[in-house]
Structure 1
Amino acid sequence: MSSISELRKTVEVFYKQNITLSAIQAGVTRIDTPFLDRHSDAIVLYAVTEGNNRIKLTDYGYVLDDLESDGVYLARSKKRLSVLKEQLNAFSVKINIENNELFIETSIEEYPIKQNLLIQAMLFTNDMFMLSNKRITSLFINEVATFFESHNIRVTNGPNIIGPSGMIHHYDFSIPGIRDIPEKLIKTMNTSSNEYYAKSITMDTIQTKETRPNTSFYAIINDEEPIDSTILNLFGSENIIAIPFSKRSDYVKQLAK
């Protein structure tokens, strides 16, 4: 068992690693981030200067191309594409279906905030749509939403919370609090071994706690495969309540309260 201080240090080091910028041609800058994808490769963005103080931040199609290499073609399913667009909209991120590009437009002044939103959207898409063949007709975030609806849990979708650094942190669901009952902010994880996404969730939580102290944090995890103990320890270190989806019924009273 890792200590809380060790786990927190690991997340903070991960989050604070330098982002490297390098010019690759006129008007195009490559941005190497410390965030890793499912292959343990660094997530790379590109900043394309568009004039009038405007910049397009783009993944140049990497995330969706990578999913397609595993047989997951989001654009071929109206349902999945609709869910993807809805979720990307919560991050203010757009999609170009012609070339699979995820992108966000920004000014120079808002560049750090918009870069963070694009990274969050890429991590979310990488995790949420990494589907096995047996789950290709179902999307985990939809299953979670159906669970809330079937138990009349008063959930709202997709709040964005501004942290102390001015960065925006997106949550998949929220349940409002009242008086001595805290607000509940909820993230979902489709891949139970995705340590890098878990670290991103944890850092979002650390940042949000500073501005929303009367809040409880939850991570609902697809546990078709066993949940990595490192992830459970990491969430536990920041009092993030990890809910295995197979045991969701055990948490209905807690969430509905």
Structure 2
Amino acid sequence: MLTIPQLKKSVEDFYRESINWSPIQKGITRIDTPFLDRHNDAIILYAINQPNGLIRLTDGGYIFDDLESDGIYLSRSKHRMKILKEQLNGYSVKLDNENHELFIITSLNDYPVKQNLLIQAMLFTNDMFMLSNKKISSIFISEVANFFESKNIRVTDGPNIIGRSGMIHHYDFSIPGIREIPEKLIRTMNSANNEYYAKSIAMDKRQTQDVRPNTDFYTIINDEDSIDDNIINLFNSEGIIPVPFSKRNDYVEQLAK
């Protein structure tokens, strides 16, 4: 039986061994995290001191800059910006309209939880819009929502689950269970080859399953490009059901239970 001190020590060890804090200038700290982006580079955050003992955690505009380097200019589309802000709300993350930073304001007590939410939001946003210009006419998460609606599948949007370590893990959709029918927690994955986002989904599932034992986990994958076999193997090994979007109708009965 795990004890509370053991759980606390696990979180403390993770932060001590995997996250590096370094001062940049007075009141600003750079935070190198163990989470990797699609370039296999560490996700970097910045903590900026605010009045009244608050902290502004920000990506420094990295996500927008990275997408623009691939020719994806989110700010030029009101539709894309609207969807982005709606999704960021689920992570309690805001967007600075002027410098395009993803940020979150937190107290010192809430700092670990809010940092985790910002990292999740960064990984999600990068995957959500990692499209070529030819594919930018639609947003994948909207297509998934439309599919659920068209099949009368009773989903709710964006639940946040407190995992075993006390961190909050965001899911895109939830389908409630009843009696012997398990709850279903669903993530979406826009890029079929984004191995690092897949690993993030798997990590969230591990943290969630102990506190939601009667739950099935799904990831719906945009398979316009072929899905990396390593990602399918990862999800299968972690007990996550991968659903290629092209085969979504094969899963309607399973999801609609």
TM-score higher than 0.5: yes
Cα displacement (A) at 1:16 = 9.1
Using the TM superposition, give the Cα deviation of residue 51 of structure 1 relative to its aligned residue in structure 2, in angstroms. 2.9
**Structure 2, unaligned stretches of length 5 or more?**
1-13
Q: Say whether the 8 Å CA contact 1:17–1:34 is kept in structure 2.
A: no
Residues 107-139 of structure 1: CA distance to partner in whole angstroms, max 9, x if unpaired?
A: 001100000000000000000011112211100
Q: 1:136 to 1:194 in 2, by over 3 A?
A: same
- Corresponding residue of 2:113: 113
Give the aligned partner of residue 238 of structure 1.
238
| Distance (Å, rounded) in 2 between the aligned partners of 1:179 and 1:15 | 38
Q: Return closer, same or farther for 1:256/1:136 CA change in 2, 3 Å cut-off.
A: same
Is the 8 Å Cα contact of residues 90 and 158 (structure 1) preserved in structure 2? yes
Tell me the CA shift for residue 15 of structure 1. Answer: 9.7
**Structure 1 residue matching 2:18: 3-state secondary structure:** coil
Offset at residue 39 of structure 1 (A) = 1.3
Alpha carbons of 1:114 and 1:171: their partners in 2 closer, same or farther (altered >3 Å)? same
Between the aligned partners of 1:15 and 1:143, the Cα distance in structure 2 is 37
- Deviation string, structure 1 residues 39-81 (Cα, Å, up to 9, x no partner): 1111100000113220000011010111112111111111110
Alignment-derived partner of residue 153 in structure 1: 153
Aligned to 2:27: 27
2:44: which partner in 1? 44
User: Cα 1:48–1:16, aligned 2, differ >3 Å: closer, same or farther?
Assistant: closer
- Alignment match, 1:221: 221
Instruction: Tell me if structure 2 keeps the 8 A contact 1:15–1:203.
Output: no
User: Take 1:20 and 1:193, find their aligned partners in 2: how far apart are those partners?
Assistant: 28
1:174 is matched by which residue type in structure 2?
Answer: S
Decide whether aligned partners of structure 1 residues 243 and 35 sit closer, same or farther in structure 2, where only a CA change above 3 A counts: same
Runs of 4+ in 1 over 4 A off after TM superposition: 14-17
Q: Sequence identity, in percent?
A: 72
**CA shift for structure 1 position 157:** 0.4
1:93 aligns with 2:93: yes
- Pair 178,15 (structure 1): closer, same or farther in 2 beyond 3 Å: farther
Equivalent residue, structure 2, for 1:189 = 189
State the distance in 2 between where 1:116 and 1:192 align: 24
Alpha-carbon distance in 1 for matches of 2:208, 2:15? 15
Question: Partners of 1:54 and 1:217 in 2: how far apart?
Answer: 36
TM-score scaled by length of structure 1: 0.93
Instruction: Give the Å deviation of 1:17.
Output: 5.6
2: distance between equivalents of 1:51 and 1:135?
A: 43
Unaligned runs of 5+ in 1: 1-13
Partner-residue secondary structure (3-state), 1:24: strand
Point out the more displaced range, 16-25 or 181-190: 16-25
Distance 2:89 2:48 in 1: 21
Q: Does the 8 Å contact 1:148/1:154 carry over to 2?
A: yes
The corresponding residue for 2:5 is none
Provide the C-alpha distance between the structure 2 equivalents of 1:222 and 1:173, rounded to a whole number of angstroms.
16
Give me the whole-angstrom Cα distance separating, in 2, the residues matched to 1:51 and 1:132. 41
Would the aligned equivalents of 1:184 and 1:215 in 2 still touch at CA under 8 Å? Answer: yes
Q: CA deviation at 1:94?
A: 0.2
